[in-house]
Amino acid sequence: MVFINQKDKQFKKKLKMLLGFTPGNIFLYQQAFTHKSKADHNQSIRQSNERLEFLGDSILDAVVTNYLYKKYANADEGFLTKLRSKTVSRTMLNKLGKKIGLENWLQYSDKFSSAMIGNAFEALIGAIFLDKGFKKTEQFIVDKIILPYIDFDTLLQTENDYKSKLVEYSQQEKIPYEFECEEKTDKNKTQYFCSLKLNRKIVATGTGRSKKQAEQEASRLFFEKHSKSDT
């Protein structure tokens, strides 16, 4: 028998409200909300959420792929791939994590970033999978995430190829651009950091699991800042 203290009981009670079902192994979920910075600064914490994030990323891809395959029965592979990419993009995952309030669950020691929310969201998916299996995880993603928060018709109209938009902007404004990218590997996890330069000045820096993803994120951040400066 596993005994849990009062703090863990409260955590489990709140977690049940978030998930819509009673969790089994609450320590998986505590790990899901623990950023690497917190684990590095606290020797009593054995693991961060990175491994669960890795697992959750694959599970989320599988569930979204299956959902779109059934929803758009006559769509071709290109359409499904593009829509899935938009659905599980880093920006979208950050938004979805925020929608369900994950920023209130995070444990971290570093300066907060929105990417922590998206990473915790994926880690939560991984924790549910290990705790309850694929079917329960799929049910959570569909009922608690997709149906209430994702409008695929709107998503289809959303342009997310920010790098192509950057090329057009550069040509129109006659401003040269370049990316400076750095690859970092930590505990078998590779992360790319790409700085976008306009006229040799850094205007935005993006991160991602691939160089392409990091360049897209840097381009997106530039246009986000650019649109705010115009208002």
Classify residue 213: in a domain, yes or no.
yes
Mean pLDDT of 88-110: 91
Average pLDDT over residues 205-214: 89
Cβ neighbours of residue 104 closer than 8 Å, sequence gap 6 or more: none
Q: φ and ψ at 160, to 5 degrees?
A: -120, 10
Residue 172 pLDDT: 85
Please give the DSSP secondary-structure letter assigned to residue 138.
H
Residue 8 has, within 13 A of its CA and on its CB side, a CA count of: 13
Of 156, 176, 208, the last residue of a domain is 156
Write down the pLDDT at residue 1.
Answer: 42
pLDDT at 189: 79
Rounded average pLDDT over 51-56: 96
Q: Specify whether 175 is located in the same domain as 83.
A: no
20: left (phi over 0), alpha (psi -120 to 50) or beta: left
**Pairwise CA distance, residues 19 & 65, whole Å:** 22
Domain co-membership, 53 together with 148: yes
**Structure confidence at residue 89 (pLDDT):** 84
SS3 call for 28:
helix
The answer on 85 and 37 residing in a single domain is: yes
Average pLDDT of span 200-205 = 95
Catalytic annotation, pick one of 50, 122, 138, 215: 122
The answer to whether 26 touches 134, Cβ cutoff 8 Å, is no
Q: What is the pLDDT of residues 118-154, one digit of tens each?
A: 999 999 999 999 999 999 999 999 999 999 999 998 8
Q: Are residues 32 and 112 in the same domain?
A: yes
Phi, psi of 125 (to 5 degrees): -60, -45
Both 138 and 123 in one domain: the answer is yes
What's the whole-number mean pLDDT along residues 28-50? 79
182: domain CATH number? 3.30.160.20
Q: Any idea which of 11-15, 36-40, 113-117, 120-124 has the lowest mean pLDDT?
A: 36-40
Q: Which of 225, 231, 230, 176 is nearest to 205 (CA)?
A: 225
Instruction: Answer yes or no: is 170 within a domain.
Output: yes
User: Considering its fold, how many domains does the chain have in total?
Assistant: 2
Q: Are residues 145 and 171 in the same domain?
A: no
Q: Which domain holds residue 171?
A: 162-230
Asked if the structure places residue 1 within a domain, the reply is no
Query: Is the model more confident about 224 or about 175?
Result: 175
| Percent of the chain at pLDDT exceeding 90 | 61
Burial class (CB in 10 A: 0-12, 13-18, 19+), 124: buried
Look at residue 133 and tell me if it is in a domain: yes
Residue 18 CB burial class (10 angstroms; 0-12, 13-18, ≥19):
middle
Distance CA 52, CA 128 (A): 10
Q: Classify 145 as helix, strand or coil.
A: helix
Mean pLDDT along residues 83-105: 92
Examine the fold and report which residue of 136, 156, 176 is the final residue of a domain before the chain moves on: 156
128 in the same domain as 24 = yes
Of 156, 175, 200, the one marking the end of a domain is 156
- Residue 222 falls within a domain, yes or no? yes
The domain that holds 103 is classified in CATH as 1.10.1520.10
Query: Annotated catalytic, 122?
Result: yes
**What percentage of the chain exceeds 70 in pLDDT?**
92
Question: Active site residue: 50, 53, 57, 138, which one?
Answer: 57
- pTM comes to 0.71
Asked whether residue 208 is domain-assigned, the answer is yes
The answer to whether residue 231 scores a pLDDT higher than 60 is no
| pLDDT band per the 50, 70, 90 thresholds, residue 7 | confident
In this structure, are 138 and 100 located in the same domain? yes
Same-domain status, 140 and 167: no
C-alpha span between 178 and 192 (Å, rounded): 15
Is 217 a known active-site residue? no
Same domain, 75 and 126: yes
